[in-house]
Structures are given as structure tokens and as C-alpha cells.
Amino acid sequence: MDDPLPHRGAPSCGDDVLLYRDKSASMSAGVRQALATVAIIVAGAFVFMSFDRILERQQTENQINVLREEINRSRITTDRCRGVLETSQASLLQLRATIDSLRQAIDSYERLPSQGTPVVSYDDYTSVLEEHNDSVGIWERRQERLRTTEHACRAKITAHNVLAESLKDALTEAGIITDSP
């Protein structure tokens, strides 16, 4: 029973067959090891690509969240700015109405007969005239402040619009929204 393959009916080759088997077994192990190495490399590449994709998605989400927070703060700022503008405009219009009323009073004093303003009314006339002149000065300063505030508000609104556009671009790039014409 020295023959490892008695069913073939061929003469026994002895150790040659065993050596051939050992070579094919070791070759098969080398191929298996190479395939395992390639599989590990491919799996590692997939894990790395997946991890990279997860990081990229997280960065996009963080960018979107930061932009949303900045837009909310910007919206609050622009709303407050609008409120200040509306209040300042209303105050300026009210002051303008007061100035117009004082101007009418001055005109009524100055329309008196050719003798001019009576001595009895002269103190009232000078008082109204001084109040008018003071109010005009106040009105001019308020009007300049209103222009400055309006300019600052426009800058804030422009900055808000830039942030909104940046958010829209980030959402489009992330595929969350589509750019429609």
C-alpha cells in the first residue's frame, strides 16, 4: 500500500507525487495570500473613501449650519435696522410737521399790516422764530443721521443677501436643492 493513488492503476511514483502536491498547495497558499492582500487593500481603500466621504458630508453640513446661523443673526440685525429706520423716519416727519407749523406761525406774524409785528406780539414772534431755527438745526442733524443709518442698513442688507446666496450655493452643491431657472 505504498501507492497513494491505487485507483488509477498506474505505477507508483512515490515521493514525486507528494512533492507535486506540496508545490501546488504552497502555490495555492501564495495565491491565496496575494488575493487576501489585494482584498485587504481594496477594502481599506473603500473604508478610506467612505470615511473621506463622511468627513466631506460633515464639513458640508457644518458649513450649511454656520451659514444658517449667520443668516439668522443677519436677519435679526436687518430687522432691527429697519425698525430704527422706520422710527427715525416717523420722528423726522413729525419734526418736519412741527417745523412747518412754526413756519406758518412766523408767516402769520410777518403778514401783519405794514407797521410790522406789534410790540405785544414781538416776544411771541421771536420765541417762535428761535424755536423754528433750533428745530431746523435739529432736523438737519437727524436727517444726516437717518442717511447714515440708511447707508449702514443697506450694507447690512447686502451682507445678508450675500450670505443667503452662499447658503443657496452650498445647498445646491450638496444636492439638497436644485438650481431652477
pLDDT in tens, 6-63: 555 555 555 444 444 444 455 587 788 888 898 899 888 888 888 888 888 888 889 8
Q: Could you tell me the residue range of the domain that residue 28 belongs to?
A: 15-173
pLDDT in the model for residue 156: 94
- Given this model, what pLDDT does residue 143 score? 93
d(CA 120, CA 113): 14
Alpha carbon of 78 to those of 27, 154, 156, 157: distances in Å? Answer: 75, 9, 6, 6
Residue 180 has pLDDT above 90, yes or no: no
Burial class (CB in 10 A: 0-12, 13-18, 19+), 163: buried
Evaluate whether residue 179 is within a structural domain: no
Comparing 30-44, 79-93, 141-155, the range with the smallest average pLDDT is: 30-44
Question: How confident is the model over 163-176, as a mean pLDDT?
Answer: 88
Domain assignment of residue 10, yes or no: no
Q: How many domains does the chain have?
A: 1
User: Where residue 59 sits, what CATH number does that domain have?
Assistant: 1.10.287
Q: What is the pLDDT of residue 16?
A: 47
Q: What is the pLDDT of residues 93-139, one digit of tens each?
A: 999 999 999 999 888 877 766 666 565 577 888 899 999 999 999 99
**What's the pLDDT at 81?**
94
With beta carbons less than 8 A apart as the criterion, state whether 17 and 4 touch: yes
Range with top average pLDDT, 69-78, 100-109, 170-179: 69-78
Q: Is residue 8 part of a domain?
A: no
36 located within any domain = yes
Residue 1 domain-assigned?
A: no
Instruction: For the beta carbon of residue 81, count every other beta carbon within 10 angstroms.
Output: 19
Tell me what pLDDT residue 46 has: 84
Contact 160, 70 (CB under 8 A): no
Q: Do 137 and 102 contact (CB within 8 A), yes or no?
A: no
**Across residues 147-166, what is the average pLDDT?**
94
Tell me what pLDDT residue 165 has.
93
Is residue 70, in this structure, part of any structural domain at all? yes
